Chain A
Amino acid sequence: MAETYETRGLRRVFLELWGFIKNSVGNFFSLEFLSLFIPLLLLWEFLPRWNILPESLVPSLSTVAEKFWDMLLHRDLVFHIAYSMSRFFTAFIIAVVLAVPIGLLMGWNLKIRAYLLPLWQLLSPIPPPAWVPITIIFFGIGFRMHTFLMFIGIFYPVLFNTYQGIKDTDPRYLASARVFGASEFTLLRKIYFWHAFGSIIMSLKTGVAMGLVMLLIGESYGGRAGIGYLLGQAKDYFVIPEMVVCMAILGFIGWFLIEVLKYVEIKLAVWKVGR
């Protein structure tokens, strides 16, 4: 409503950014977490340094940080990240644009469900990595193959969670809207969707996790760029600090995307806040 969004323009953007940072990074600065996290970081730094763990196998925190800086300057790390992420987002957007509407329709209508659901139930148990050989034959190695593999990973969790959320919509909400004369399309937009909103966001989080798994699997089968490729190279040359840097970057990307989704949920599902 008008009263709550009075700040506009650049100021608003900064406010939102600040809100996002507070919500995401804020968790790290609680006393409870820091009292666990700082000792862990210190152990990571000093166990290898004092040779309690072999330095050659367990690189210390500072070694990893140095390696990260080195890769940033000399190994085009930013390019590799952008390369992987562009594919990831292409796959993510295609999967969400297809899976959410299909899930909506399947949850809404018994007949559509009867046509479509068995198909997904047959296809979804195939583990996504099992698609790799046939995808390579069809698409070759490259953009289309990587995107398709990630799509397969993201599509099913989003589809099934959306479907489940829609199907579980409380019939009383539907009944009271129907008595007021709501058409089925209005029900989908105003009732089903918002009732299932929590499960849809949840499904997107699962999708992010599955997409990152498929990103690594796809890029480990050839390709000349990407984080998966860097990780593969680090493995071939046995450079443990580089492996750790790649792992940390992947972890960061997953964490960041999930925080973005959480923030979207807080912003759109205002009614759930303060419950």
Chain B
Amino acid sequence: MIEARSITKFFSVVNEKGLAEGLTAVLNVSLTIPDGKIFSLLGPSGCGKSTFLEILAGLQAPTDGEIRIDGSRVLEPLPSTRKEMEAYKRRYRFISPVANGVFRDHPKHDIAMIFQDYAVFPWMTAIQNVNFALKLHKIPRAQRNERARFFLNRVGLAGVEHKYPSQLSGGMRQRLALARALSVEPKIILMDEPFAAVDALTRERLQDDLLKIWGETGVIIVMVTHDAPEAVYLSDEVVIFSPGPGTIRNRISIDIPRPRRRSDPEIIEIQDRIFAMLQYDLDQESEYSI
């Protein structure tokens, strides 16, 4: 279970006049994600959904609030007083708070993350990529190859173990990222626009494969997307973010049993509702800016 309690993220940015300016990327977002569910975070770009996902993964410290995964805290929030801030800076003088340790590999939580542009390492072959993740999770050397092959087979990448990512197609690279994430048998998979960079047909196949694998393993999947049909087709709940500052605008739970059909009238109806909502936001925004 993931619990996000009133997460706020505040950045200092430099505006066009060269002055420091506050930017609230995420404001007071609370969200509980129960085990075995697929959640989608949907919204226009710049609404803080990716920032929120990185906070979930422990890649950024929230300014306020905390994330708990099965009760244990992911990252401590940034200090609020000057004195605490000085102590914080002293403590993390040489190593950033998001680092795992200087010499010891140590996965803090059972999380795997998949990024839009794959983030599989181009200097490792497919199997080396998977082995890298397995090694960090302390799988003994003797078992790594076999286990890596198993997961590569599972996502349909049998036979290309020794190819480099540059020799694979976009869809295959995304499958490799998925295999690497699955290989460590995480409880949570976070996805940052995972299918945005592949063509429409490949995307649909990848979505179906993802659902199949999810059905077999029952992990929590939290997915950031700006594709409403994808969100509705895949998720148990769609969380719609609105920008400036990033807050939860609406939550739509989808109780249609799986397997779903993309052309199901119920799904189309929910899609239309979401489109209308996003469109309304855009219209309001343009009126506001005039």
Measured CB to CB, the residues of A under 8 A from B are 1, 3-4, 109, 111-112, 172-173, 175-186, 190-191, 194-195, 197, 269-272, 274-275
Contact = CB atoms under 8 A, between A and B. Distances in A.
Given A109-B94, A111-B94, A182 B115 contact: no
A179 B57 contact: yes
B222 to A, nearest CB: 13
Given A180-B136, A181-B105, 15 more contacts: A177-B121, A178-B99, A179-B58, A180-B132, A180-B137, A180-B184, A181-B137, A183-B103, A183-B104, A183-B105, A184-B102, A186-B105, A194-B123, A197-B123, A271-B166
A175 B93 contact: no
B110 to A, nearest CB: 10
Contacts of A177: 121, 132, 136
A181 B124 CA distance: 18
Interface string B91-118: 0011100111111111110011111010
A67 B284 CA distance: 85
Interface of B: 54, 57-59, 93-95, 98-108, 111-115, 117, 119, 121-125, 127, 132-133, 136-137, 162, 164-167, 184, 190
Contacts of B124: 271
A25 to B, nearest CB: 28
Nearest to A185: B103
Given A179-B113, A184-B95, A271-B166, A191 B136 contact: no
Interface of chain B: mostly helix, strand, loop or mixed: loop
B108 A181 contact: yes
A249 B101 CA distance: 50
Contacts of B99: 178, 183-184
A184 B133 CA distance: 15
A270 B167 CA distance: 11
Contacts of B115: 172, 175-176
17 contacts: A1-B125, A172-B117, A179-B58, A180-B132, A181-B100, A181-B105, A181-B108, A181-B136, A182-B105, A184-B99, A185-B103, A190-B121, A191-B121, A271-B122, A271-B124, A271-B125, A274-B167
Contact of B112 (A179, A269, A275): A179
Contacts of A173: 119, 121
A190 B57 CA distance: 21
B123 A182 contact: no
Contact of A186 (B114, B125, B136): B136
A182 B119 contact: no
Nearest to A197: B123
A183 B133 contact: no
Contacts of A112: 94
Contacts of B59: 175, 178-179
Contacts of B136: 177, 180-182, 186
A3 B105 contact: no
B230 to A, nearest CB: 21
A180 B137 CA distance: 7
A275 B57 CA distance: 32
Contact of A181 (B106, B117, B166, B190): B106
